[in-house]
Chains A and B, each alone.
Chain A
Amino acid sequence: MSTATAVLTGAGRRLGTGAPVYALLVVLLAALAITEPGFYEPDSFLAFIKRAAPLVILAAGQYLVIVSGGFDLSVGAVVTAGVVAAAEFYGSFPDAPWVLVTAGLLAAGAVVGLVNGLITTRLRVPSFITTLGMMLILEGAVFYWTGGSPQGTLPEAFRAFGRGTAGGWLPWAVLACLAVGAAAWWLMRSDFGRTLIATGDSERAAALAGVRVPRVRTLAFLGSGVAAALAAVLVAGFSGVSAQAGRGLEFEAITAVVLGGVILGGGRGSVVAAMAGAFSLQALFTLLNLQGVSGALESTVQGFIVIAAVGLGAADYGRLRRRRTPEESA
């Protein structure tokens, strides 16, 4: 264990702030291996990633918003609304091509993100409130529209993306997850990404350096909206029509990001660590499920572990650094 941790520590230094989450992930994956020897067979491991994919994608989107100094509480509602709206749409146009519907959902997610971003930046409403309001609006609107439940079924072609496999063995969801991961990693190394983090760190400094702060922050929300819509497509594919597809996902996504060592308030943390946080959370769910922890106590265990993990992360990165500050700046 200690060698593993040492290796991780080295890796963690390179990866920035996420070190504890990688340790957590390794511990959880090891525990899974012990509990379930078959876990690492290609099929079941791929199934695990496939299952984690929506949360990982949501975490990547949520990361963009959190690192720029905000919250996005509306992602769960976007997932629910996306699934229900897709079904409703198929109810009216059963033969619509899946590409079109998927693209439409992503565009709608982008619009929701755009609205979140504009309200937050232009009207100066704290994002917590904006997205809380958006959550109520989306849930209300989509059910008002559908009269409470969607009136269509999702065809297999549409669902294949979340349910099917490429080449008979590699789930599309895993590919989507990898693609989003790579895109997010690339994005955060790009000029936009660096500017985004700097904006989250100090909005004034960024604005005075020529950063179009409202635009950058709005784009972060837009990214989160698109990620949520993509998650909606995957969830819809994975499990079909449900009126509560996205319930609680916003909290899971935020928890995942925070587990990844990203600081609420912005300016610090890596997107890879945030996605590792999502994998950790999913691994924890799976482990609790396999352990046969009584269903009822599951959430208690989850609560303890999240607090403990974040607490240990905070001990590492908050306290020690703060103590250290005065040494060099007089």
Chain B
Amino acid sequence: MTAIRTEAAPKPARRFTRRRRLRFNDPVVGVWLAAAAVTLLGWIVVAIDGGNLLSRTGVTGILQNSVALGLVAVGQSAVILTGSLDLSVAYLISIGTLVAAETMQDGSVFTAVLAVLGLSAAVGLANGLIVTGLKVNAFIATLGMAFILRGWIEDNYTGPAGKVPDSFQRLGYDRIGPVPVSVFLLAGVAVALWLITKRTRLGHHMYATGGDEHAARLSGVRTKRTVVAAHVLCSLCVGAAALFLAARLGAGAPWAGTEARYDLESIAAVVLGGTALAGGRGGVAGTLGGVLVLSVLDSVFNQLSVDPFFKNVVRGVVIIAAVAIYARPRRTTPRRQPA
């Protein structure tokens, strides 16, 4: 009994520290603070240069540039949380824009949306089944899927195709005040994903599967289904990104996804947002912060007319530095040792 009390006594204090630590060490908070800091610093630097980072067009630009990457990264968060990975997103975006634009050319917007989301779901399903059923490592499985999709694109398209009606293009161009309407699409998708990951059984199972697949399975979680579901969710987000890009581009583009390197960029944004690459920790909120950091940085570089090659150097440094900072507190936390 004594032992129980000894452990029980410091309990309230420990809970208090946990809450407090949430504030300073939680990557979600960290990345949003970082986004704020980058914005502030960027604003100052740009102001010295004689510009205004946060002008109406500036803000619109930052938000607008966050949408496509944000949609993909939110989806990528879902798979990474679950302990998987998706490298096929870039090619899926390209196909998505093509299917959307071609379907809209001949049919209705509604069918096009259904077609894109249906195709995305199918690709996600295939990814998930290859990972869980064939037990191919997600890295290889989705890389293989990327190759398959690439062949399909290259065999069928030789450049932009299809046409998106003006009504649908409004998704890509309209804005309310300084806020582009597409930001609401991103917000909607992000909130949906946030709800799914944090508040539904599927979400709990995703965290569990990513944290410890074996333990999750023993607890009765259908881990395979969970992984498949995460892949489908991810691909649906990618489908949404493709629809947005189709609206923005007015046509389908075979290189829409690959030239922007959405595969690696989305992973970078997710990790920047504090989600552990191994899975089980992190979330959508952090990812959005990560996207915002990248997008603000881009905008600052734009304003300062920084050499695009130099941008890559800075991005690489930022990504490594951010993750190094996340890794730091964990090192100082003493590992619990049953003595």
Contact = CB atoms under 8 A, between A and B. Distances in A.
Direct contact of A and B (CB under 8 A): yes
A310 B137 contact: yes
Give the interface centre of B135, B149, B278, B311 by most chain A CB atoms within 10 Å. B135
B264 A132 contact: yes
Q: Is the interface of B mostly helix, strand, loop or mixed?
A: helix
Given A140-B313, A296-B154, A300-B152, A314 B136 contact: yes
B151 A307 contact: no
A310 B130 CA distance: 10
Given A133-B319, A144-B313, A311-B130, A303 B146 contact: yes
Contacts of A301: 151
Nearest to B330: A124
B310 interface: yes
Given A296-B155, A299-B154, A319 B135 contact: yes
Interface string A95-138: 00000000000000000000000010001111011101111110
Given A264-B139, A306-B144, A140 B268 contact: no
A310 B149 CA distance: 18
A258 interface: yes
B317 interface: yes
A202 B106 CA distance: 58
Contacts of A148: 309
Interface string B100-134: 00000000000000000000000000000010001
Contact of A299 (B141, B147, B310): B147
Contact of B139 (A119, A141, A254): A254
A42 interface: no
A136 B140 contact: no
Contact of A128 (B148, B152, B277): B277
Interface string B146-167: 1111111011100000000000
Nearest to B145: A303
B179 interface: no
B307 A144 contact: yes
Contacts of A251: 143
Interface in A244-267: 251, 254-255, 258, 263-264
A251 B90 CA distance: 15
Interface string B296-319: 000000000001011111111101
B319 A136 contact: yes
Q: Is the interface of A mostly helix, strand, loop or mixed?
A: helix
B37 interface: no
A140 B151 CA distance: 28
A132 B267 contact: yes
A314 B287 CA distance: 32
B63 interface: no
B320 interface: yes
A169 interface: no
A315 interface: yes
A266 to B, nearest CB: 12
Contacts of B330: 124
Contacts of B137: 258, 263-264, 310, 314
B77 to A, nearest CB: 15
Contact of B277 (A124, A129, A144): A129
B280 to A, nearest CB: 14
Nearest to A134: B316
Interface in A276-330: 294-304, 306-307, 310-311, 314-315, 318-319
A124 B331 contact: yes
A297 B144 CA distance: 13
B145 to A, nearest CB: 7
Contact of A318 (B135, B141, B144, B151): B135
A126 B316 contact: no
Nearest to B155: A296
Nearest to B151: A300
Interface string B61-91: 0000000000000000000000000000000
Interface string A159-189: 0000000000000000000000000000000
A129 B328 CA distance: 15
A203 interface: no
A315 B319 CA distance: 36
Contacts of B196: none
Nearest to A131: B320
B135 A125 contact: no
Contacts of B324: 119, 123-125
A135 B316 contact: yes
Interface string B263-276: 01001100100000
B309 A136 contact: no
A106 to B, nearest CB: 23
B130 A136 contact: no
B327 interface: yes
B134 A126 contact: no
B151 A299 contact: yes
Contact of B144 (A136, A139, A144, A307): A307
A89 interface: no
Interface of A: 119, 123-126, 128-130, 132-137, 139-141, 143-144, 148, 251, 254-255, 258, 263-264, 294-304, 306-307, 310-311, 314-315, 318-319
18 contacts: A124-B324, A125-B327, A128-B277, A129-B271, A129-B323, A130-B323, A132-B264, A134-B316, A136-B312, A139-B312, A143-B309, A255-B143, A299-B147, A303-B143, A303-B146, A303-B150, A307-B136, A310-B144
Given A140-B316, A310-B140, A315-B134, 13 more contacts: A124-B328, A125-B324, A125-B327, A129-B268, A129-B323, A136-B312, A143-B309, A144-B307, A258-B140, A296-B155, A300-B151, A306-B143, A306-B144
Interface of B: 130, 134-137, 139-141, 143-152, 154-156, 264, 267-268, 271, 277-278, 307, 309-317, 319-320, 323-324, 327-328, 330-331
